[in-house]
Structure 1
Amino acid sequence: MDYVTMGRSGLKVSRACLGTMNFGSGDHPLAGCGEGEAAQIIGAFLDRGNNFVDTADAYTGGQSEEVVGRAIKGRRDEVVLATKGFMRQGHGPNHRGLSRAHLTRALEASLLRLGTDHIDLYQCHGWDDTTPIEETMATLDGFVRSGKVRYIGCSNFTAAQIVEAQWAADRAGTTPFISLQPQYSLIARSIEAEILPTCERHGLGTLVYSPLGSGVLTGRYGRDNDPDEDSRLGRFLKAGIPAARTWAQELLSDRNLDIVEEVRTVAAELGTTSTAVALAWVRQRPGVTSVIIGPRTPEQLDGALASLTLDLPAETLARLDEVSQTTTIPLVNGVNDPTRPAATRPGRS
């Protein structure tokens, strides 16, 4: 098993990180993997020597954390367990964000749902411009000193926000971030411009999400066919939420489908799958520590793990780089990576 160090720390993680955003059942729009199958996926993932599992308090209304907690019971010491806080968890004004009030409540709730006494990597799920970053970093440092959290990280932060956070921790002599969780794939490459270099300078490793572009890069979508109703994009296209429909439609832009066609061509030439090509490209990119995979079935897990062992030839990497080159847009404030092209700025992970 190939383990790597996360950022400027001693934490060893597998190159594959199991994403659990789909774990849960019921009417939640992201729920697509029931508890029985989720437990099989987690067990198989760990049995193969992988140790990195990522969830969040916002995933499937908290179900994801509960499912993960029950699945790793008895194997807790094998797991580098990551979760996140920030998203709204109640109706009051202090039930969202990165304030001491909200994060303290959110951490305690996550510990309860996960059935554990500590989180290995606790991440800020987004930037909060209503809370001083000094308060956030001091609060997270308190979690570490209490033993309830081992390491801290962030998700969806811009380069400038990473710098602010690390400087705040340095000034106060408190715990810095060791990781960033950004979106990264052949259709969403804008973190290369500023964010990845900033992570390197400031000691952050990366666990990248949506390496398959929310499923677009699997090759299951094309210009001549509508997404299946049971697919993630299909569910969002038929949802009654305008923003969700717009996000799904933009993912199927002409630019993105051009990339999909090139990935299909490469896959045929190499005798492999589009999924394997897209995942291999991400794994081989400079600055990527771990790649988050989000299987909904044991079969998808098998395919994803096999794909992460594929090494693409240099000439193939160059072809994929050329077809997927992108430009950035001006910085704006927001939870998601604001340098991401508008056509690839979906909901957060």
Structure 2
Amino acid sequence: MEYRQLGASGLRVPQLSFGAGTFGGRGPLFGAWGTTDAAEARRLVDICLDAGVTLFDTADVYSAGASEEVLGAAVKGRRDQVLISTKAGLPMGDGPTDWGTSRSRLLKAVDDALRRLGTDHIDLFQLHGFDAGTPIEEVLATLDTLVRSGKIRYTGVSNFSGWQLMNSLATADRHGHPRHIAHQVYYSLIGRDYEWELMPLGRDQGVGALVWSPLGWGRLTGKIRRGAPLPDGSRLHRTADQGPPVAEELLYRVVDALDEIARETGRSVPQIALNWLLQRPTVSSVIIGARNEAQLRQNLGAVGWSLAPEQIARLDAASARPAPYPYFPYERQEGFARLNPPMLRRPAGQDAVVLG
């Protein structure tokens, strides 16, 4: 397994990490993701650790806290072997303090997460979304308090826009608070919006990407084909409208390219889609999920090899979309392109440390 620095920090994380959204199985959304109990989770953690996957990501909102509970039970007795990442901020109820990132909400959310996880610290605590109703100064001061108390080690965000993240980083610098080192983002071959604003920001400011839904909300599993209905049992039957949107022609164009490269390499469609992400700038770790052992082992096969440059170029071309404003002039008009040449708009790759 290859280990990478998480942003501009001393924390090393595996290039693949495990998402515990399938743990617990409470509610219509997360019940569709998976219903893994503690015994099953412990087996999946065993497989991860054997493969060098040491980072496990969850959130308080996943199965209304059950995901954290199951993960805590699964790592009990080996807490020193794992890194735990969790998130808070999304609604856990309808009460005035059940959502958001106010001081009272964050202090309670962290204590609740520690109790459910059965641990005394969280290695990476992330704000699950931007809270427009709470001053950034209040949020960062509270996170500073939690870091100083030892309850959390590092902080990050998830699903922030560029200005929201940059404002948070600048405010942290102004007041001497800990900077966010990670941004958990949606990024896939059928969802490359991360590249326009957030990737250059991450490189410039030292914020590493933790990629969620790298298989495009289950669309790049190798089971969806042009002209064919969704396979029986696909969670897309129940959750497609809650995931990132994708144009059908883009999806099928990418799947066609993946199928072609799968025949050339002998690798599976998901393995190729994951490997492509691992070559992208600023990506520190790609979060994989699994409802069972077979799925997990399949996804773990995405590492230990690399796509050829020509294959990457074909996937780039198949997944390309027109640049949105204000980026399209830099792609299409010579005058703007001269100000921002491609080598500056396309940051260099992530340095890596390879261990075992």
Normalised by the size of structure 2, how large is the TM-score? 0.87
Give per-residue Cα distances to partners, 1:217-266, cap 9 Å, x unaligned.
Answer: 122012333223422212325xxxxx54xx58x44622112111111111
- The amino acid of 2:254's aligned partner reads I
1:194-237 Cα deviation digits (max 9, x unpaired) = 10111111121111111111121122012333223422212325
Contact 2:27 2:63 in 1 (8 A): no
Cα pair 1:280 1:309 within 8 Å, conserved = no
Gaps of 5+ in 1: 238-242, 332-349
8 A contact 2:26–2:66 mirrored in 1? no
Q: 1:26 to 1:229 in 2, by over 3 A?
A: farther
Counterpart selection for 1:270 from 265, 272, 290: 265
Q: How does 1:277-288 map to 2 (within 5 A)?
A: 277-288=272-283
1:34 corresponds to: 36
In structure 2, the CA distance between the partners of 1:61 and 1:327, relative to structure 1 (3 Å rule), is farther
* Residue 291 (structure 2) pairs with residue 296 (structure 1): yes
**What is the count of residue pairs matched by the alignment?**
323
Amino acid aligned to 1:168 = T
Is the partner of 1:21 in helix, strand or coil? helix
User: C-alpha deviations, 1:154-205, integer Å up to 9, x for none?
Assistant: 0011111111001111111111101110011100111111101111111211
Which residue number corresponds to residue 346 of structure 1? none
Q: Tell me the amino acid that sits aligned with residue 44 of structure 1.
A: I
Please give the secondary structure, in 1, of the residue aligned with 2:29: coil
> Is residue 172 of structure 1 aligned with residue 167 of structure 2?
no
RMSD: 1.7
Identity, in percent, stands at 42
Give the 3 Å change call, closer, same or farther, for CA 229–130 of structure 1 in structure 2: farther
Task: Please give the alpha-carbon distance, in whole angstroms, between the structure 1 residues aligned to 2:180 and 2:27.
Answer: 35
Specify every segment of 5 or more residues in structure 2 that has no aligned partner in the other structure, as ranges: 327-356
Residue 310 (structure 1) aligns with: 305
The reply to whether residue 321 of structure 1 matches residue 324 of structure 2 is no
1:127 match? 130
Check the 8 A contact 2:191/2:246 in 1, yes or no.
Answer: no
**Distance (Å, rounded) in 2 between the aligned partners of 1:328 and 1:149:** 38
Q: Check whether the contact 1:154–1:177 (CA below 8 A) recurs between aligned residues.
A: yes
Counterpart check, 1:157 vs 2:160: yes
Matched residue type, 1:95: D
Partner letter of residue 4 of structure 1? R
**C-alpha offsets along residues 324-349 of structure 1, whole Å, 9 cap, x if unaligned?**
11245579xxxxxxxxxxxxxxxxxx
Match of 1:22 in 2: 22
- Between the aligned partners of 1:118 and 1:70, the Cα distance in structure 2 is 15
2:17 and 2:229 mapped to 1: Cα distance? 30
Q: Which residue number in structure 2 is paired with residue 8 of structure 1?
A: 8
Aligned counterparts, 1:141-152, within 5 A: 141-152=144-155
Task: State the match for 2:346 in structure 1.
Answer: none
2:347 maps to: none
Code of the aligned partner of 1:257: Y
Q: Alignment partner of 2:22: what SS?
A: coil
The residue matched to 1:307 in structure 2 has which SS?
A: coil
**Distance change >3 Å, CA 129–CA 327, structure 1 → 2:** farther
1:217 partnered with 2:220: yes
Q: Which amino acid aligns with 1:220?
A: K
Q: Distance in 2 between matches of 1:27 and 1:203?
A: 36
Residue number in structure 2 paired with 1:259: 254
1:226 to 225, 229, 232: 229
* TM-score, length-scaled by structure 1: 0.88
- Residues 1:329 and 1:132: Cα distance change in structure 2 (over 3 Å): farther
Match among 75, 78, 82 for residue 75 of structure 1: 78
Per the alignment, in what secondary structure is the counterpart of residue 208 of structure 1?
A: strand
What displacement does 1:23 show? 1.2
